[in-house]
Amino acid sequence: MKFIIKIKTAVILTTIFITFVMLFSISYADENVISAAGSPININASSAIVMDMETGRVLFEKNAYVKRPIASTTKIMTAILAIENGNLDDEVTVSERACQIWGSDIGLKPGEKLKLRDLLYGLMLNSGNDAAIAIAEHIGGSLENFLDMMNEKARLIGAKNSSFKSPHGLDMEGHYSTAYDLALITRYALANPVFSEIVSTKTASIPGRNLYNTNEMLGLYPGADGVKTGYTGQAGRCLVTSATRNGWRIISVVLNCPTKSARTQNSIKILDYAFNNYKMYTLTEAGETVGYLPVNKGIEESVPIVTTDKIVYPLTQEEAKRVKTKILLLDDIDAPVFGGVDAGYVIFTLDGKVIAETKLKVSKDVAKKDFNYYFQKTIDEVRKFFKSLFSGLPGILFTHIYSCTPRM
């Protein structure tokens, strides 16, 4: 049966402003994260950023949108493309071209055959430039085609200020990205469990080789679980890190640090800043009732309206006090109503800027008052009437019969 949503007024949606800070009770996703007073951070990276994995919110940034060489952090894009477009058990034949590349390598030989999975570990742990070429040629059919794939993927992810001229990141004119774009690419890649597993691995063995991850943050920083180091003369010391504490994962990027020690300390500083100053707040749970929608000609006068998704968002303690909620809800709805029908939106704002939203939906079915409804209601009323009318009849009849019984 088809249902019709009725909009009565010229204003399609009724806007309800909530005057208190939050319509829903805000609860901490993690009570163990200690909030700290925010203060400027002094780091000597030319560019840096911290991004929340779940929402993509930028928690800290320094020159994050400036285009720079990115060295071997390029391989984050190389790896995720290979994982998405190849079979991990594919056998890859190493070309002469791959073996001629300079810089860090895993000692590949022309004509050597390795599984794509093994090459990916060599790429991301030991930062093998030879593995990067071998992977690119296998996945793209040619190095040039693979570069096209890299740039197209960057565009789709939203990394608009990135340009890839190689799968390894050696200094080359026109090869660049930004700290923000690298965080976006990493956030996308970490959503893939295969990628996430590889970059969190400290050591691995592949045919003829023992691999050791160049990422010094693994085992050093509490919760560190990825992702990639980088260094060239033009790019300086670079490091992309992910860290997870109590289920909350964040990503940091530092570019053009003067020394390896500096990139490590810079990463620790900005990660600490994020973990100490922000908490994941629950703005609403999925299925939480926010109000009731009038139902026209329904067997019930109204129906509960609930949220579709659970929404969490990283906020400082002070920001949490300034979050406001707006509900956009239909005026009413015509019966029959079916559970799950869209009924509006709930929008969360911080200082006037939308930070999150989710659809509202009808929580259950409501039948229409049709002929059968009114007929059944009439029958029920008649039954009640006669039941009330004759409720004392059996006792009266018994008394009458008893009194008329002949005496012996």
Please list the active-site residues: 72, 75, 127
For residues 262 and 186, give the distance between their C-alpha atoms in angstroms, rounded to a whole number. 21
Q: Sort 260 into a burial class: Cβ within 10 Å, 0-12 / 13-18 / 19+.
A: middle
Looking up tokens 């015509």, which residue turns up? 334
Strand, coil or helix: 2: coil
For residues 166 and 98, give the distance between their C-alpha atoms in angstroms, rounded to a whole number. 12
Strand, coil or helix: 307: strand
User: Angle of helix 143-157 relative to helix 179-190, nearest 10 degrees?
Assistant: 90
**What residues have CB less than 8 Å from 303, skipping those under 6 apart?**
292, 293, 295, 333, 337, 362, 363, 364, 366
C-alpha distances (whole Å) from 326 to each of 208, 349, 364 are 61, 8, 23
In sequence order, what E strands does 29-138 have? 47-52, 58-62, 91-93, 113-115
Handedness of CA 19, 23, 29, 31 (dihedral sign): positive
First to last CA, the chain: 72
Q: How many CB atoms lie within 10 A of CB 244?
A: 16
- Report which residue type is found at 200: S
Q: Token pair for residue 100?
A: 């001629």
